[in-house]
Amino acid sequence: MSGAEAGFVLGLISSVISIIKATKTVYDAAKDAEGQPEAFRQVAARLPLIIEILHNAEERAQALDETAQEGLEPILESCKAKAENLNKIFQYDRYKKVLGTLQKGNKVECLMEGILKDIQVLVCEELMGTATDAQIKEIEEAIKQMNEMPSSLLDEAGGIIQTHTGSGDNIGHSGPGTMNINKAAGDFYQSHNSGPVTFGGKK
C-alpha cells in the first residue's frame, strides 16, 4: 500500500472527526438558545458516538491493504460532505436565516441520518469490528429516530410563515377547527352549542 493512499484515507477520517467535533463545539456554545428546534438536541446527542467510532475506524484503517483502503474512500467522502453541511447549518443564528431556503435533504435531522447510515456501512461492511454490538444497535436506533423526527423547518413542523406588505389585516390560523372573521359592520355571533341560543327577549 502506498504511503500516499494510506495518508489520504486516514486524512479523510481525521477530517470528518474534526468537523464533527467542531459541530459539537458550536452546539455546546449555543445549546440554550431560545427556540432551538428539538432536532438540534437529538442530533447533537449522537455526535460523541460518531466521534468514538471514527477514532476506532482510524486505527483499524491503518492495517488495511491498498485495495481495502480505496474501498473506504467513497463512503468517507460522502460522510465528510454531509458533516460539512451539518456544521454549516448547525450554527443556530445562521440556521434561522435559511429556514425558508433549505431543501429537505439539508435539514439537520436528514444530514445526521445520512451520516449515521454512512457510519453503519463503514462498521458493518468495510471495517467490521470497529463498533461494538451495543454501538451498532445505537446507530440503528438513532437512524430510526432521525427518520421519525419532526421537521426542524418551522413551515413543515406546523409553523406559519407570513409576508404582509399592504394595508389591512394579516391573519394567520394554525390551530384545528374553523376560523370565522367578521369584516362587515354590525354584530357577529358564533355558537358552538348544540341547543338554541337566546339574545334577550323571547326565543
User: Helix H segments across the chain?
Assistant: 3-30, 38-44, 47-61, 66-89, 92-97, 108-121, 133-148
Instruction: Kindly state whether residue 159 falls inside one of the protein's structural domains.
Output: no
Q: How many CB atoms lie within 10 A of CB 64?
A: 18
- pLDDT of 175 reads 44
- pLDDT of 183 reads 53
Using an 8 Å Cβ cutoff, are 79 and 18 in contact? no
Tell me the three state secondary structure of residue 167: coil
CATH number of the domain within which 73 lies: 1.20.1410.10
Instruction: Kindly state whether residue 163 falls inside one of the protein's structural domains.
Output: no
Instruction: Kindly state whether residue 143 falls inside one of the protein's structural domains.
Output: yes
Structural domains counted in the chain: 1
pLDDT confidence bin for 176, thresholds 50/70/90? very low
- pLDDT of 6 reads 61
Using an 8 Å Cβ cutoff, are 152 and 109 in contact? yes
Cα–Cα distance, 158 to 81 (Å, whole number): 29
pLDDT, one tens digit per residue, over 67-101 is: 888 899 999 999 999 999 999 888 764 555 555 54
Instruction: Kindly state whether residue 22 falls inside one of the protein's structural domains.
Output: yes
Instruction: Kindly state whether residue 14 falls inside one of the protein's structural domains.
Output: yes
Give yes or no for residue 203 having a pLDDT over 60: no
Which of 108, 106, 105, 127 has its CA nearest to residue 118? 127
pLDDT confidence bin for 64, thresholds 50/70/90? confident
Cα–Cα distance, 85 to 113 (Å, whole number): 13
Instruction: Kindly state whether residue 29 falls inside one of the protein's structural domains.
Output: yes
- pLDDT of 196 reads 53
pLDDT, one tens digit per residue, over 44-55 is: 999 999 999 999
- pLDDT of 20 reads 97
pLDDT, one tens digit per residue, over 24-34 is: 998 888 766 56
The H or E element that residue 197 is part of is none
Which of 16, 15, 21, 44 has its CA nearest to residue 31? 44
Range of the domain at 65: 3-148
One-character DSSP codes across 52-86: HHHHHHHHHHTTS-HHHHHHHHHHHHHHHHHHHHH
Mean per-residue pLDDT of the chain: 76
- pLDDT of 162 reads 42
Cα–Cα distance, 142 to 7 (Å, whole number): 31
Instruction: Kindly state whether residue 156 falls inside one of the protein's structural domains.
Output: no
Q: How many CB atoms lie within 10 A of CB 44?
A: 19
Instruction: Kindly state whether residue 64 falls inside one of the protein's structural domains.
Output: yes
